[in-house]
């Protein structure tokens, strides 16, 4: 069964450069229910917009905690 976590991300473009240059490999975020999670920065590639990554997103992981998908829920 997949696990779904909701996170609010507000990462401006100038910070995303660090992820793309490999200076930062992981993102640490707080879920909407207060848990802290850490996930690979590469997950963000599919949701980057010209102003960065902003909004509420649903992260989906499988039963082995392997990443499945990330989807925008709202624009924050």
- Sequence spans of domains, the chain: 3-74
What local confidence, expressed as pLDDT, does residue 22 receive? 79
Answer yes or no: are the C-beta atoms of 50 and 68 closer than 8 Å.
Answer: no
What local confidence, expressed as pLDDT, does residue 18 receive? 85
The rounded average pLDDT for each run of 10 residues, N- to C-terminus, in the chain (76 residues) is: 95 88 89 95 91 95 95 84
What local confidence, expressed as pLDDT, does residue 37 receive? 94
What local confidence, expressed as pLDDT, does residue 76 receive? 56
What local confidence, expressed as pLDDT, does residue 57 receive? 97
Answer yes or no: are the C-beta atoms of 42 and 59 closer than 8 Å.
Answer: no
Domain range 3-74, CATH architecture:
Beta Barrel (2.40)
DSSP assignment of the chain equals --EEEEEEEEEEHHHHHHHHTTS--EEEEEBTTS-EEEEEGGGGGGG-BTTEEEEEEEEEE-TTS-EEEEEEEE--
What local confidence, expressed as pLDDT, does residue 19 receive? 81
């Amino acid at each position: 069964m997949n696990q779904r976590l909701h996170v609010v991300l507000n990462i401006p473009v100038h910070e995303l450069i660090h992820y793309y240059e490999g200076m930062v490999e992981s993102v640490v975020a707080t879920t909407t229910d207060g848990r802290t999670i850490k996930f690979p920065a590469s997950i963000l590639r599919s949701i980057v917009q010209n102003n960065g990554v902003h909004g509420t997103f649903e992260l989906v992981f499988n039963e082995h905690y392997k990443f499945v998908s990330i989807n925008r829920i709202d624009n924050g």
